[in-house]
């Protein structure tokens, strides 16, 4: 689980160099990013070598990966960052990424969990909270003596924001009926 970026790149090399995974355009974008954004990763001369259109894409990509592995872990990490920025789908499908995702100690798919938690939105939460608060207030008023009913009527009368007007009117009518019956 605690793999270095060079080890991960060694593991992902076959996947990345297989036909159709990365187009020539994407490889050029990754090389340009490593050269322009991180000039200490790839010099101009190295970038020209890896962008040479006369050389096969598979060969250029293999040579680039070997070159980065020889330079060290930080260089491999920047390659992964450039790959994620320019080809996110390929980055997510990497074999080393699948291993990291499956060795998650919680066993929860965070992308799916985020969707499950956020699909209803804040209005749903506020509506549920309002119903629960209204129900708790209502139960408190029903179980208490008649002296509290007057106080509850005041609270309900000034709370059109907390609970809806229809719910407030129903609670007020119920409180009036219970106070008449006692």
Neighbours of 160 (CB within 10 A): 12
Q: Supply 76's token pair.
A: 């491999």
Architecture of the structural domain at 5-102: Orthogonal Bundle (1.10)
pLDDT tens by residue, the chain, 182 residues: 568 899 999 999 889 888 778 889 999 999 999 999 878 889 999 999 999 989 998 999 999 999 999 999 999 999 999 999 999 999 998 998 876 655 555 555 555 544 454 556 677 777 777 888 777 777 766 665 545 555 555 555 555 555 566 666 776 677 777 767 76
Answer yes or no: pTM beyond 0.85. Answer: no
Q: Assign 61 to helix, strand or coil.
A: helix
Question: Among candidates 69, 59, 71, 70, which has minimal Cα distance to 27?
Answer: 59
Write down the pLDDT at residue 139.
72
Q: Supply 86's token pair.
A: 């320019």
Neighbours of 10 (CB within 10 A): 16
Domain residues of the chain, as ranges? 5-102
């Amino acid at each position: 689980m605690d793999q270095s970026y060079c080890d991960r790149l060694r593991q992902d090399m076959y996947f990345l160099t297989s036909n159709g995974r990365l187009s020539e355009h994407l490889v050029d974008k990754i090389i340009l990013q490593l050269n322009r954004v991180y000039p200490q990763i790839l010099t101009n001369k190295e970038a020209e070598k890896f962008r040479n259109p006369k050389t096969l894409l598979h060969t250029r990509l293999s040579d680039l990966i070997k070159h980065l592995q020889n330079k060290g872990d930080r260089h491999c990490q920047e390659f992964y960052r450039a790959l994620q920025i320019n080809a996110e789908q390929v980055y997510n499908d990497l074999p080393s990424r699948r291993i990291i995702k499956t060795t998650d100690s919680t066993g929860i798919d965070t992308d799916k969990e985020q969707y499950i938690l956020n699909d209803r939105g804040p209005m749903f939460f506020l509506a549920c909270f309002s119903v629960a608060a209204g129900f708790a207030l209502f139960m408190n008023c029903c179980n208490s003596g008649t002296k509290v009913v007057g106080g509850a009527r005041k609270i309900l009368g000034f709370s059109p924001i907390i609970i809806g007007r229809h719910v407030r009117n129903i609670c007020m009518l119920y409180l009036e009926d219970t106070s008449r019956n006692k």
